[in-house]
Each structure stands twice: as C-alpha cells, then as structure tokens.
C-alpha cells in the first residue's frame, strides 16, 4: 500500500481538520489480516455509540441533526470500505463537530495503524487528548510531531501546547505584583469644597484650614493571587487574592490610609445546554467572598464583608456580559450609627470595537443601604463607562467615567435632607518595560456634590507607579 498525504498544519483549539488523501495504488483488502479488520469494525462501532464528551461546535438543532445524519451515512460507507482513509478522516471530523472527541481519537488512532508516519494525525491526536485532559498522551503525541521537522509556525504552536500541559499538570498557579510610586493631590486633607456651612438657621464660615489643600504622597501596593485547578472536566477553579495598599502623605500624615483585601472566588464553568439565562456562551457562575479592612492614621475605621454571586459569559454579538448580586456588611469604628448592610445588583457589558483592539463597556449599579440610624439609609444609582486601547509604542490607554446618585431616606440632624452626587473621571497610561517591569501613569478627577456642604469634596490626583511582576 502506498499512500501520499497532503496535510495542512494550520491548528486551532476547535480542531478544524483539513486533509487531502490521494490513493496512488489500489488498496488490496485481502492483504489485511482478519484480526486487523475486526479491530477496525470494533473501533468504528464503539465510536458510533460513545457519548458526547464536550459540547457540539454547532448550536442550531437542525444543523446538528444534519451533521449527525451525515456521520451515520459515512459510517455506512466505512462498512463497505473500512480502510478508506479519506472516509475515516471525514468521520473523525464529523465526530469532533458533534462533540464526540473520544470517537475522533479512536479513528485517528486507527489511521496510525495503517501509516505511523502521519505528523498531521499525531498533531490532531495531541490536541484532542489535551482537550480531554489526558495530558500524558497529549504530551507524547505533540513531542512526536517535532521529530518530523514541521514548519516553524507549527513547532511554535506545539511548544505552546507543551507549555500549557506543564501548567495544567500543576494545579496551583500564582502571581505577585509589587508597585511603588508617588501621587500629587489637590486635596490631601480631605477639605471641604465650600465657603459656608448651614446648620439650622445659622450660616457659619468655613475655616480656611478646613478647605482643600494640596499635598504629595508615596504609594505602596502588594498583591498576591493563587489559582487552584480543581481538575474538573468543566475546568472549574478556585481563586484566592490578597492585597495591601498604603497612601502616606507628606504634610497631612493624619490622613494616611492603609487597606487590606482578601477574597475567595469559586468559578463554575457551566454547560450552555444546562444554564441558559441570557443565552450566554461559555457561562460562568462564581460565588465570591471579599473582606476589606481600612486603617486611617494607624486606627481602624472600617471593616467590610461582602458576598457576591456573579454570572458571566459571551453574547451572540460578541460582547461579554456580567451580572452580579451582592450583600455587604459594613462596620464603622468611629460612627456606629453608620453600621449597616448593602444589598445591590450590577449589570454590565463590554465590547471589542470592530476591526481594532479597542475595548469599551458600561456598568449599571443599584444599591440599597440600611444602617443603624435611619438618616443613614440611602438608595444609590450608579453608572460607569470604560474605554481602553493600545496606542503608540506599546502604550496602553484606558479611561473610566463613573457617576453615582445617592439619596438618603431621612433628614440629617441639624442639616436637613441629604442628596449626594459623585462623579469621577480616570485616565491611565501603561507602558511595559521589559519582561517584568511596567510604568503606570494615572490622572483622576473627583467631584462630590451634596445638599449638605460639609460633604462637598473635590480632588484632582496625578500618580506615577513602577510595577514589578516577576517572581521565582
């Protein structure tokens, strides 16, 4: 038997198989042993009845049914000509389309019995075993492809898969980030943006020292994240995160702030056919626990514990969607009347600008806060818009506008009704500097307006930070 194979080395994670078989001599069925013929039929039969082990590549029921019918027709032809490599390849491709990766593997393995020197088939087997989590077999097949001196782009893709196998076999993946920088602010003392304060029937002039004053500060931040792969067929994982941040002022050190954050997130990668809210592709359900501690001038002022339920995925238009419900318990050490809990929901989408790498999106926030004191009860409505894109020489530009409208249910003692509006406009420029280092430049414009003058604030902050991410 002499068979020449023309194969395309182009590889994608969806395993789009392209092959052309040319049979140069008539294959003699009688030259194959009866035992080998039996193996062929047993393999094909087992393939035909195996349960699908991944979601089909086709979501439309009619199209899927048509592919299943085609698969059955090819199977019938294989009974007549079980050694036809072209038919075997077609059957394997159809099996992949309907989600039967194990069936495709059975056919590809059989093809190697006829001809062991088929690098394209070895490549496809390596990818299929990788998708099924059989990393040892995937590793062997992918390494064998390199023995056939493949094109550089194919060898690079094989190396990527081999690196992914090393990562996949280690259930723990961790990352650290350290940043140091400085900030220039127009309101280092958290001063009031008003000339007078109205208390009842009295109008009091604000002390100049209580108005906003500029200052400089040093910024420190350290974060650590750990991902634990649960070795679940869906690809579920648990994410742990910890961060420490500090903002130390030069002049107004009594306003030095430190914060600690710890969170645990469990990601459930759901089956599209099982969980159909919003008809998302690749849906993920993620419970999340977040703990926050804030220290002002070495004295703890706030503790917060948040539980959130996130649901995210891809929509048909290519956008990403995130829906979240959260419950947040807040404890204020210096004002127990403010202690309470937030119930909130948020909804957002992000899009990739057609024909570019620009990313833009929005988020809507609805919150209700119930505190110990009724005048601290409020309803909050928020809106965010974001935009980012690469610009010149590897610089990454990003921006975000946020608006909140907070209305308190009861009048404040001595001050009357309280209604706050807060706006923030943020700009960032990120520049990679080698493998481990990056430079982050930021500008933030904050404006807080209120019917009560003591809550009026305005601040413009400029910051520059150096980030380091490489750790052995």
Instruction: Indicate if the pLDDT at residue 419 is higher than 50.
Output: yes
Among 271-275, 295-299, 400-404, the range with the most confident prediction by mean pLDDT is: 400-404
- The reported pLDDT for the residue numbered 276 is 59
Indicate the pairing of strand 196-199 with strand 237-249. Answer: unpaired
Instruction: Indicate if the pLDDT at residue 468 is higher than 70.
Output: yes
CA–CA dist 206, 203 (Å, integer):
10
Q: Find out whether 440 and 181 touch, Cβ atoms under 8 Å.
A: yes
**Domain end call among 135, 169, 203:** 169
Strand partners, 307: 289, 327
**Overall domain count for the chain:** 2
Sign of CA dihedral 145, 151, 152, 153: negative
Predicted confidence (pLDDT) per residue in 70-84, tens digit: 888 888 888 787 777
Q: State whether 25 and 143 are in the same domain.
A: yes
**Domain end call among 136, 169, 202:** 169
- The reported pLDDT for the residue numbered 47 is 34
Instruction: Indicate if the pLDDT at residue 37 is higher than 50.
Output: no
- The reported pLDDT for the residue numbered 262 is 97
For residue 221, the enclosing domain spans: 172-468
**Domain end call among 116, 146, 169:** 169
Indicate the pairing of strand 202-205 with strand 215-229. Answer: unpaired
More confident residue, 138 or 428: 428
- The reported pLDDT for the residue numbered 402 is 98
Instruction: Indicate if the pLDDT at residue 265 is higher than 50.
Output: yes
Q: State whether 299 and 445 are in the same domain.
A: yes
Confidence class of residue 459 from pLDDT cuts 50, 70 and 90? Answer: very high
Q: State whether 208 and 126 are in the same domain.
A: no
Q: How far is CA 120 from the centre of its chain?
A: 32
Report the CATH number that the domain containing residue 359 is assigned in CATH: 2.40.160.40
Q: Which of 144-153, 279-288, 352-361, 387-396 has the lowest mean pLDDT?
A: 144-153
* Helix 135-146 × helix 152-169 angle, to 10°: 160
Instruction: Indicate if the pLDDT at residue 161 is higher than 50.
Output: yes
Confidence class of residue 221 from pLDDT cuts 50, 70 and 90? Answer: very high
Instruction: Indicate if the pLDDT at residue 392 is higher than 90.
Output: no
This model's pTM is above 0.85? no
- The reported pLDDT for the residue numbered 275 is 55
Q: State whether 89 and 129 are in the same domain.
A: yes
Residue 357 buriedness (CB in 10 A; 0-12 / 13-18 / 19+):
exposed
Q: Which of 187-191, 280-284, 388-392, 423-427 has the lowest mean pLDDT?
A: 280-284
Instruction: Indicate if the pLDDT at residue 428 is higher than 90.
Output: yes
CA–CA dist 323, 312 (Å, integer):
6
- The reported pLDDT for the residue numbered 251 is 95
Predicted confidence (pLDDT) per residue in 126-151, tens digit: 888 888 878 888 888 888 888 888 88
Q: State whether 240 and 152 are in the same domain.
A: no
Rounded mean pLDDT, 303-324: 92
- What's the mean per-residue pLDDT of the chain? 82
Q: State whether 256 and 283 are in the same domain.
A: yes
- The reported pLDDT for the residue numbered 55 is 67
- The reported pLDDT for the residue numbered 370 is 95
Q: State whether 135 and 259 are in the same domain.
A: no
Q: Which of 51-55, 353-357, 429-433 has the lowest mean pLDDT?
A: 51-55
Q: State whether 61 and 34 are in the same domain.
A: yes
Q: State whether 191 and 155 are in the same domain.
A: no
Q: Find out whether 333 and 301 touch, Cβ atoms under 8 Å.
A: yes
* DSSP-based three-state secondary structure for 269: strand
Predicted confidence (pLDDT) per residue in 356-380, tens digit: 889 999 999 999 999 999 999 999 9
Q: State whether 270 and 396 are in the same domain.
A: yes
């Amino acid at each position: 038997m002499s068979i020449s194979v023309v194969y395309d080395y182009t590889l994608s994670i969806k395993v789009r198989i392209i092959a052309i078989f040319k049979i140069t001599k008539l294959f003699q069925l009688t030259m194959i042993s009866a035992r080998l013929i039996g193996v062929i039929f047993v393999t094909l039969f087992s393939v035909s009845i195996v349960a699908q082990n991944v979601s089909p590549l086709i979501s439309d029921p009619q199209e899927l049914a048509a592919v299943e019918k085609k698969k059955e027709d090819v199977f019938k032809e294989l009974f007549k000509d079980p050694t036809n490599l072209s038919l075997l390849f077609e059957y394997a491709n159809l099996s992949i389309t309907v989600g039967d990766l194990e069936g495709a593997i059975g056919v590809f393995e059989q093809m190697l019995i006829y001809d062991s020197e088929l690098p394209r088939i070895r490549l496809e087997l390596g990818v299929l075993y990788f998708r099924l989590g059989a990393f040892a077999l995937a590793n062997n097949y992918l390494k064998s492809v390199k023995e056939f001196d493949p094109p550089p782009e194919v060898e690079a893709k094989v190396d990527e898969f081999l690196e992914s196998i090393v990562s996949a076999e280690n259930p723990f993946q961790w990352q650290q980030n350290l940043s140091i920088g400085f900030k220039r602010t127009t309101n280092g003392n958290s001063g009031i943006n008003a000339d007078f304060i109205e208390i009842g029937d009295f109008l009091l002039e604000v002390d100049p020292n209580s108005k906003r004053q500029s200052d400089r500060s040093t910024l420190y931040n350290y974060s650590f994240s750990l991902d634990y792969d649960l070795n679940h067929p869906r690809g579920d994982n648990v994410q742990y995160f910890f961060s420490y941040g500090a903002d130390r002022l030069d002049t107004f050190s009594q306003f030095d702030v430190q914060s600690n954050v710890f969170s645990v997130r469990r990601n459930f990668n759901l089956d599209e056919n099982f969980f159909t809210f919003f008809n998302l592709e690749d849906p993920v359900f993620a419970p999340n626990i977040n703990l926050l501690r804030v220290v002002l001038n070495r004295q703890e002022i706030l503790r917060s514990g948040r539980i959130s339920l996130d649901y995210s995925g891809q929509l048909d238009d290519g956008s990403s969607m995130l829906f979240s419900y959260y419950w947040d318990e807040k404890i204020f050490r210096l004002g127990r009347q403010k202690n309470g809990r937030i119930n909130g929901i948020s909804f957002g989408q992000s899009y990739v600008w057609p024909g570019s790498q620009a990313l833009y999106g929005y988020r809507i926030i609805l919150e209700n806060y119930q505190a110990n004191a009724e005048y601290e009860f409020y309803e909050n409505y928020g809106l965010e818009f974001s935009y980012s894109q690469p610009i010149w020489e590897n610089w990454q530009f990003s921006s975000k506008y946020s608006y909140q409208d907070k209305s308190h249910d009861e009048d404040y003692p001595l001050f009357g009704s309280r209604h706050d509006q807060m706006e923030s406009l943020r700009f960032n420029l990120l520049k990679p500097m080698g493998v481990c280092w990056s430079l982050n430049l930021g500008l933030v414009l904050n404006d807080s307006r209120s019917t009560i003058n003591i809550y009026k604030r305005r601040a413009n902050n400029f910051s520059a930070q150096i980030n380091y991410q490489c750790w052995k």
